[in-house]
Structure 1
Amino acid sequence: MNIVVGTYEELILGYKLINSEETYKIEQTFTDHSHLGCIKSAGISRKNVLATGSTDETIRLFNLQKQTELGTLMHHSGNVSKGTVTQITFHQDSHMFSTSEDGTMCVWKNYSWECLRQFRGHKGAVNSVSVHPSGKLAITVSKDKTLRTWNLITGRHAYISNIKEIADNVLWSPDGNHYAVSIYNKIHIYKMEDAAIHCTIESEKRINNIVFINNNVISYGGEGGQVFLHDFTTDKQVTSLQLKCTRIKGLCCSYFDDNIPLLIIAASDGNIWVFKIQIDQEQYEKVVEHDTKFRITCLAVTPPLPTKKHMKSEETLVLEQIEDNTNDKDNSDEKEDPDSEDSDSDEPEQRPENHKTIKRKLTEKNDVNPEASVNVKQKIK
């Protein structure tokens, strides 16, 4: 399992979580310093393509299996709009979604890295995006205090909700029946069928990250270093973890072969923890801890493999009908993409204006002094 963290020092740090005879360990695989700003977001596809976003307004692409950099996407740093890339998320193995402080959401086709469409509508920075498991809908939240639902079949926004506060995160449950919206120290759980609030979870301190453990349990953490697990169907706290850190900056859930949830946690102080979670017994077990010695800003892990129920279906291919029309701010034109067949290539095609291809080997196991300049790189002896 790949674990990647972005840092305030502009570095991307890559690790492998290894399970050998019920013993877990974290091994560093690479260090990269290709961004020119703080790393704000990261995402990993099921085929181990890593995408990272930064305050330098670019998205960097990496092949984690081959340990190479694939290229740079610069759509959020164009002449029309510019802004820090706030979130990157992959939908299955077909598409990637990115949001930015420029108020837009971009939909990218994996492996060709064509920007199929740039969605506009928000009047402020877009903080978060989540795609429904079916691939038909996406939800975004913004600093303009609205929640927008986008129809990915037609390429238009479906409806707008005024939430009166700035939401930090939005996330669909694995089955798509609920979605969560975090606002400062609260999490509202909405039902998909009527968009009504099903449950509200309150924390004493600010919530920075949320992740669904399963269809009924959500985990959240933030200031103070405490992580909670809450069953929103019964409105009951399952358990909590108190970690020795200032704030939580990343929460991810994945699995190994034993099908027991693994909760991966990253803290701003530089630590990464991995816990086994047993929901039925309301227990958890720390299996490994690692100190990166850098100020972590975001976290990404290899997503769990899909079940047969959620394997790619013809319904999700509607995403490929979306074609970018950056001159249409209302997203009112619908066009089919005649070249929408999936590519088997791991490398992006050359794209003018917003895409640059760089074939570069990642630096293996760099030892960078966190107290020195971010431009200093020293090879491990």
Structure 2
Amino acid sequence: MAKNQFRIIVGSYEHNILCLSLDLSLKTPLFTPIFHFQAHALSVKCLDVSKRYLVSGSNDEHIRIYDLQKRKELGTLLAHQGSITNLKFSKSKTENGDGEGSNNKWLLSASEDNKIIIWRVKDWENFGTLKGHIARINDVDIHPSNRVAISVSEDHSIRLWNLMTVKKAAVLKLRNYSQNGQFVRWIGNGDYFAVALLNKVLIYKTAAAKVHCEIDMNKKTIMHLETETLDGKIYICVAMSDGNIHFYPTEGLLTEEPKVEEPEFSLLGHSNRVKDFKFYKNDFGTYMVSIGSDGRVVVWDMEKKDELAVYDCGERLNCLAVVDETVEKYETMKKRDSESADLGEQSEVESDTEELKKVMFGNKNKKSKKGKKNKKKKVSIELE
């Protein structure tokens, strides 16, 4: 019998990463700590997960890579000269819920150094740098097609990027607003996108590149923004400094004459700032995990809109990722069929060491050239 179980990974101001396994199959939900360690020299600012890989970014300018399947750190990406503000994997079609396929080949990292770097996941090579912002980049999101990215910055602009050509696609200025964009998310299939300022959410129509409507949060501070489909309806989900998460259905917002109303519902699970929240769907239902400065991890049943479980970490939490419980099970690894496989073919497990050697040392006959090239880019990849 399948268990209703998944893992929650959080990063804290105290430099730590904590992984919890949550079992909802039991009468009383059970949290089991899986690992807890100091991951960085300074605060952990962002996390993202894609299949077996977890990445963390920090004020110490490092991006660390972990293999969750083996519960092992793979190495460090060093290319930014500033705090890492955001990490975002391109999602495969399967992860987006659009069927089979795999497009999760990019990792985007944003920083206070005004740059976005595109990393190629298969070998963690620096594929290119997106330059154009002239101040700290606050957030980045990848279009459902995986071909376009969007970013917001302290330079009072919104930029769209062509990930295929590694060039800027468009620049939008926040001319009528005194605040900078703090968070940005594509809505649905990408025809619209939402930008959160300090206390407003602006909804843009992508084709027109203009503000379609706005949601005023009555001078309350926005702490995080997500968009999610729940029961067939797309919501703009806004976390606040007072512990609330508000849910605005887009049905009335995306019409020719938008109607901006009060949130359809709100969830209050924290005593102060909600720092991050993520959604997780499995065969048993749809869940939301929220974290706050109060150190609480709160798990919600989104069908009942009710609090399911709470875990107090005792640390000031900053960022969050959610992943399947099966990520660590050996059976999920892609193994070689000993009878039908070619002699040169390797399983996912066997190929890891060779891949890491290639990243570290490259091909022997190109070693010196590659070393010079990496030095010129100021890119360093440290691996065990």
* Residue 112 (str. 1) matches residue 116 (str. 2): no
Task: Decide whether aligned partners of structure 1 residues 159 and 244 sit closer, same or farther in structure 2, where only a CA change above 3 A counts.
Answer: closer
Distance across 1 between alignment mates of 2:28 and 2:48: 26
Contact 1:85 1:100 survives alignment (8 Å): yes
Matched residue type, 1:202: D
**Any conservation in 2 of the 1:101–1:125 contact (CA below 8 Å)?**
yes
Residue equivalent to 2:194: 180
Structure 1 residue identity aligned to 2:226: V
**CA contact 1:98–1:105 (8 Å) conserved in 2:** yes
**Cα shift at 1:233:** 2.2
Higher helix share: 2
Q: Tell me the number of residue pairs that the alignment of Structure 1 and Structure 2 aligns.
A: 310
Larger displacement relative to structure 2 (22-31 or 198-207): 22-31
* Partner in structure 2 of residue 354 of structure 1: 380
Q: CA deviation at 1:111?
A: 3.3
C-alpha contact (below 8 Å) 2:188/2:234 kept by paired residues: no
Of residues 298, 302, 306 in structure 2, which corresponds to 1:285?
306
Is it true that 1:59 corresponds to 2:80 in the alignment? no
Root mean square deviation, CA, Å: 2.2
**Is 1:74 aligned with 2:78?**
yes
For the pair 1:224 / 2:242, whether they are aligned, the reply is yes
The answer to whether the Cα contact below 8 Å between 2:269 and 2:298 also exists between their aligned partners in 1 is no
Q: Which has the larger radius of gyration?
A: 2
> What is the percent sequence identity of the aligned residues?
31
**For 1:17, which of 1, 19, 22 is the aligned residue?**
22
Secondary structure at the aligned position of 2:305 is classed as: strand
Please give the alpha-carbon distance, in whole angstroms, between the structure 1 residues aligned to 2:147 and 2:243.
36
- Alpha-carbon distance in 2 for matches of 1:303, 1:218: 24
Aligned partners of 1:73 and 1:354 also within 8 Å = yes
Q: Deviations over 1:70-116 (max 9, x none)?
A: 1000011xxxxx10000001112211111000000011111311110
Q: How does 1:1-381 map to 2 (within 5 A)?
A: 1-20=6-25, 24-45=29-50, 47-76=51-80, 82-92=81-91, 93-164=104-175, 165-204=179-218, 205-214=220-229, 216-234=234-252, 235-236=260-261, 237-258=263-284, 260-278=285-303, 283-302=304-323, 345-346=351-352, 348=356, 349-350=359-360, 353-358=379-384
TM-score, normalising length: structure 2: 0.76
CA contact (8 A) 1:43 1:90 kept: yes
Q: State the alpha-carbon separation in 2 of the partners of residues 34 and 230 from structure 1.
A: 36
Conservation of the 8 A alpha-carbon contact between 1:13 and 1:32: yes
Partner-residue secondary structure (3-state), 2:24: strand
Higher relative contact order (CA 8 A, sep 6+): 1
- Please list the CA deviations of residues 128-179 of structure 1 after superposition, one character each: whole Å capped at 9, or x if unmatched: 1100010111001111010010011222101111114311111112422221
Is this contact kept in 1: 2:270–2:292, CA < 8 A?
A: no
Unaligned regions of 5+ residues in structure 1, if any?
Answer: 77-81, 305-342, 359-381
